[in-house]
Amino acid sequence: MQIPLAKECVSFKETRVLLNLMKNDGVQCITDHPGFEPVCLNTYVLDTAYNQYKQRYNHQIQNLPERYGYTAYRQLVRWAWGYLGKHVRVVLSSCALKKIRGRFPSPQEDYVGLKEAKLN
């Protein structure tokens, strides 16, 4: 597995949005939140979310673990931050990335990491 970039190594405690999400449920890590598994790791939910994404953007990911991982990241962002808009990026917590990558490992083990938005 590729070592993440420094800007990707963000603990959930550095992410105010995730802290607010966890506050009412008394959990210490976003991956322990009762909503994390059903929203970000449940393959039935990810299939449904991916189909909506595919319909809207006409973009297909054939490799199933890659598709699930990509969709899981999108689900976490949508759950925590809501709709951000085109080209808006946020840094996800390292514990969430580790959990998602552990559940849906890339066959090549070459994670791209955070891509800066290209604004035209």
Per-residue DSSP letters for 6-63?
GGG-B-GGG-HHHHHHHHTTT-SSGGGSTTHIIIII-HHHHHHHHHHHHHHH-----S
Query: What pLDDT does 34 receive?
Result: 93
Tell which residue, 60, 73, 54, 64, has the closest CA to residue 113.
73
- Letter for the amino acid at 102? G
- Residue 66 inside a domain? The answer is yes
Indicate the pTM of the whole model: 0.74
Q: Which two tokens stand for residue 103?
A: 């559940």
**What residue numbers bound the domain in which 40 lies?**
6-103
**Number of domains making up the chain:** 1
- Residue 113 inside a domain? The answer is no
Q: How confident is the model at residue 118 (pLDDT cuts 50, 70, 90)?
A: very low
Q: What percentage of the chain has pLDDT greater than the value 90?
A: 40
CA 43, CA 12: separation in Å to the nearest integer? 24
- Residue 81 inside a domain? The answer is yes
Q: In terms of pLDDT, which residue wins out, 111 or 91?
A: 91
Tell which residue, 41, 102, 26, 45, has the closest CA to residue 73.
41
Q: In terms of pLDDT, which residue wins out, 107 or 74?
A: 74
Query: What pLDDT does 40 receive?
Result: 96
Q: Which two tokens stand for residue 33?
A: 């939140």
